[in-house]
Structure 1
Amino acid sequence: MKTEDISLFHRIVETGSLVEAADILNLPKSTLSRRLQALEDELSVKLFHRQSRSMTLTASGSHFYDKTTSMMSSLEETLSELTNEKTDVGGHLRILVFPIPELLQITQGILHFMDLHPSITVEIIVSAEPQDMIRNNIDLAFILEDSFNENEMVARHIMSETVHFFASPEYLARAGTPQTPEEISDHNSILFRYPNGRIFNEVPFGQDMVLSVKGNLCVNNLSVCLEATLAGAGIAMMPLPFCQDYVKTGQLEMLFKDSAPYEGKCYLVYPSRRYISLASQRFIDHMLIELENCSQTGTCNQIAKIRGAIKPLI
């Protein structure tokens, strides 16, 4: 019995469809169906009730899924213990990245990991939309705090970013400049919707304040938020690195400069209900080191600017 066939079985379970699993795995449906049938023949049990549009587990299939999930996890852990950290690993990783200012830093880290492990193939999915990581076979994700379910995910804090209020000179000339954070509620704010559906209208400020904001525009993408702010649509709360070039040119003004900024956190997460592959384990270790080095040396932003502007890629 091949462990790869068991992994394919897991993907079918998690998508609930042979067609969807084949699309995500980039395999012909006929190949996936044949390998599933071979697995059932080897086990001498029926794993799925096959229907026209979906597949549901039989009692035997459910039992096999539960038992093999822990088995595959133990196998990957054993392989990790036996193999040298520099030993090449293979496999395919699907990585979701929330469109954050550090997108290029993360991309550089992924490319470096691929250089170290030439047998690895990677798919990078940049999205601010909600994604079911299990159903969409996403191995790892870089996403913001409060945008994922902690009960379903294992999360590693990997970076923090200072977040400030910004507005264009045109908006401030028209609506006036708020002098205190409490006055922000009297202004039109550009709202932000997190991937989990939550609208960011109760805004943390400093260390212990929460400000209520309201506005006539809600977005789920930082680039759109930035463009709307530059156009004078309202006041927006955005990461400083994303806006600092526009502050330098006078296109944006940072508000409440004397107040302590809010610190937003980004996490590297993976589903707690799925065993984590050896490739994923190595990737997590690699990115933690890579981003820590970036933070200490301050070189990553410089490299990102040399290789290309962040704005068009987000």
Structure 2
Amino acid sequence: MKTEDITLFHRIVETGSLVEAADMLNLPKSTLSRRLQQLEDELKVKLFHRQSRSMTLTASGSHFYDKSLQIMTSLQQAVAELTDKQTDIDGHLRILIFPIPELIYITEAILSFMDINPSITVEVIVSAEPQDMIRNNIDLAFMLEDSFNENDMVARHIIDEPVIFLASPAYLAKAGRPIKAGELSEHNLILFRYPNGKIFNEVPFGINETLKVTGNFCVNNLEVCLAATLSGRGISMMPLTYCQQYIERGQVVRLFEDVPPYVGKCFLVYPSRRYISLASQRFIDYVMKSIESRPYERYCQVE
């Protein structure tokens, strides 16, 4: 029995569809179907109830999934413990990245990791939309706090990012410049929606204060938020490193400079209920060691 076939079985379970699993794994449906049939023949049990558009586990299939997931986890851990750190690794990584200011540095780290491990293949998905990491076969993700469920994920804190209030000179000339926290309620805020669906409309102010704000424009993308800010649509909260150049050019004005900025946190996360591959483990170790040496290290904290 091949461990690779067991892994393919896991992907079918997690997508709920032979077609979706085949597309996700970039394999012909016929190949996946044949290998599943071979696995069932070896086990001498039926793993799925096959329907026209979906596949559901049989009782035997559910039992085998739970047990084999534990076994694969233990196997991967044993391989990681026995494998020399210099040994070549292969495999494919699917990495989700929330569109954060450090995107370029994370990309550089990924490419550098690939240079060290030339047998590795990588697919990067940049998205601010919710993604089911299990269903979409995503191995690792770089995500902001409050954008994932901590109960379903293992999260490693990697980056601290000061987030500041901004507005264009045109907006301030029209609406006035807020001086005190309470004055924000009189202004139009450009709101942000997290991947988990939560709207960021209760914003931190200073160290211990939280303010309820309102606005007529909501986005889930930093570029759109910046464009709206530059066009004078309202006050926004954005990462300092993302908008520093626009502040220096005078295109936007930083507000409440005497108030300590809110510090957003970025995490490297992976599903807690799926075994983590040796390639993923090596990548995590590499990122945790390398990311702190980047130019934005004054904002970065590695645990």
- Whether TM-score is above 0.5 comes out as yes
Q: Which residue is 2:3 aligned to?
A: 3
Does residue 55 in structure 1 map to residue 55 in structure 2?
Answer: yes
**What residue ranges of structure 2 are gaps of 5+ in the alignment?**
none
- Structure 1's 202 and 296: CA in aligned 2 closer, same or farther, altered over 3 A? closer
2:207 maps to amino acid: Q
Deviation, structure 1 residue 297 = 6.1
Q: Which whole-Å CA distance do the structure 2 matches of 1:255 and 1:180 have between them?
A: 10
Deviation, structure 1 residue 84 = 1.3
**What residue ranges of structure 1 are gaps of 5+ in the alignment?**
301-314
Where 1:188 maps in the other structure, the secondary structure is coil
Question: Residues 204-263 of structure 1, C-alpha deviation per residue, up to 9 Å, x if partnerless?
Answer: 122111011110000000000000000000000000011010001100000001110000
Q: Which residue is 1:261 aligned to?
A: 261
CA root-mean-square deviation: 1.2
1:280-295 correspondence runs (5 A): 280-294=280-294
1:103-182 correspondence runs (5 A): 103-182=103-182
Q: Which residue is 2:277 aligned to?
A: 277
Deviation, structure 1 residue 150 = 0.7
2:285 maps to amino acid: D
Q: Which whole-Å CA distance do the structure 2 matches of 1:40 and 1:121 have between them?
A: 29
Q: Which whole-Å CA distance do the structure 2 matches of 1:295 and 1:232 have between them?
A: 31
- Structure 1's 82 and 141: CA in aligned 2 closer, same or farther, altered over 3 A? same
Q: Which whole-Å CA distance do the structure 1 matches of 2:199 and 2:297 have between them?
A: 35
1:180 maps to amino acid: K
Q: Which residue is 1:312 aligned to?
A: none
Q: Which residue is 1:211 aligned to?
A: 211
TM-score (norm: length of structure 2): 0.97
Moved over 4 A (4+): 295-298
2:225 maps to amino acid: C
The worse-fitting range, judged by mean Cα deviation, of 163-172 and 177-186 is 177-186
Question: Residues 148-180 of structure 1, C-alpha deviation per residue, up to 9 Å, x if partnerless?
Answer: 011111111011100000000000000000011
Q: Which whole-Å CA distance do the structure 1 matches of 2:197 and 2:162 have between them?
A: 23
Deviation, structure 1 residue 296 = 8.0
1:95 maps to amino acid: I
Q: Which whole-Å CA distance do the structure 1 matches of 2:206 and 2:87 have between them?
A: 45
Where 2:294 maps in the other structure, the secondary structure is helix
Where 2:215 maps in the other structure, the secondary structure is strand
Q: Which whole-Å CA distance do the structure 2 matches of 1:105 and 1:273 have between them?
A: 28
Q: Which whole-Å CA distance do the structure 1 matches of 2:182 and 2:52 have between them?
A: 57
Deviation, structure 1 residue 110 = 0.4
Q: Which residue is 1:40 aligned to?
A: 40
Where 1:129 maps in the other structure, the secondary structure is coil
Where 1:264 maps in the other structure, the secondary structure is strand
Q: Which residue is 1:66 aligned to?
A: 66
Deviation, structure 1 residue 40 = 0.5
Identity of aligned residues (%): 72
Where 2:45 maps in the other structure, the secondary structure is coil
1:224-243 correspondence runs (5 A): 224-243=224-243
Q: Which residue is 2:201 aligned to?
A: 201
The total of aligned residue pairs comes to 299
Where 2:150 maps in the other structure, the secondary structure is coil
Q: Which whole-Å CA distance do the structure 2 matches of 1:121 and 1:150 have between them?
A: 28
The worse-fitting range, judged by mean Cα deviation, of 122-131 and 202-211 is 202-211
Deviation, structure 1 residue 295 = 6.2
Q: Which residue is 1:309 aligned to?
A: none
Where 1:38 maps in the other structure, the secondary structure is helix
Deviation, structure 1 residue 181 = 2.0
2:251 maps to amino acid: Q
Q: Which residue is 2:87 aligned to?
A: 87
- Structure 1's 148 and 55: CA in aligned 2 closer, same or farther, altered over 3 A? same
